Amino acid sequence: MNLIIDAGNTQVKLAVFNRNAIADYRTAAMGNFASEVKSVFKQFPNIRYAMVSSVTCLDKTAMNVLSIFCKVFVLDHSFKMPFKNSYASPATLGVDRMALATAAFYHNPNGNTLVIDAGTCVTYDMVNDYGEYLGGAISPGLRMRYKALNQQTANLPLLEPVDMIGFIGNTTDSCIHSGVINGMCQEMDGIITQYRERFSYLTVILTGGDGQFLSKRLKNTIFAHSKFLLEGLNYLLEYNKR
């Protein structure tokens, strides 16, 4: 069994994999990571390997606790990838995008796949039907757009995403929601259409914290998969631990 750990800025996601199936999934605050790890291993003592992907860095104490229980891999650019990486600056490619490209490669090995990760930023990652990672795009995420409107202007309030009826705002708040949410959906639909014009039989995977919120608002056919990144990390672990 494998323990997959995706550490963000404030929250950590932990998933236990039995081969390629998720046996357990939980989240923990960064400060509760060590105690959560102990709880996971108490429930699943057969875990032998752990993969850590971190946008920040788990502190030394947390890593030491983890290494007591199993062999630990920390994802970096030295890892072997199952796909051909055609990114012009591979050393700058984020580890999250490496994992998403891996998941795309295994999910649709003989097809064209675009992965959209709607988190703090929105990333677009393309793996073609030759098993080649081509790159993609990065743009601001939902909450980053709300914050920018608040912080870069004198009078606009800081809002959170809400369900909208229609797209024409008639108050300041509803105009902001329309601009952010409708604008992001139009961006995504436009980019998906661009990729579909170039790549035949394109599969589109939408993941990330805002994936479910946005999925029902897109015109294009997509597959929403909230744990796609974790699956990619597990595939990478299996590919490299051999």
Annotation: binding site for K(+): 117
Catalytic residue selected from 24, 96, 125, 189: 96
For 5, the token pair is 């750990």
Q: How far apart are CA 41 and CA 204, in angstroms?
A: 35
How far CA 139 is from CA of 15, 25, 52, 101, 205, in Å, comes to 27, 28, 25, 18, 17
Residue 10 near residue 25, CB atoms below 8 Å = no
> Within 13 Å of residue 79, how many CA atoms lie on the same side as its CB?
28
Q: Annotated binding residues, as ranges?
A: 6-13, 87, 94-97, 117, 120, 172
Q: How far apart are CA 70 and CA 94, in angstroms?
A: 25
For 239, the token pair is 């590919």
| b/e sequence 192-228, b meaning 16+ C-beta within 10 Å | beebbeebeebbbbbbbbbbebbbeebebebebbebb
Q: How far apart are CA 215 and CA 233, in angstroms?
A: 23
Q: Annotated binding residues for ATP, as ranges?
A: 6-13, 120
Amino acid at 225: H
Q: How far apart are CA 87 and CA 66, in angstroms?
A: 32
Known catalytic residue at 96: yes
| b/e sequence 42-72, b meaning 16+ C-beta within 10 Å | eebeebebbbbbbeeebeeebbebbeebbeb
Annotated catalytic sites, by residue?
96
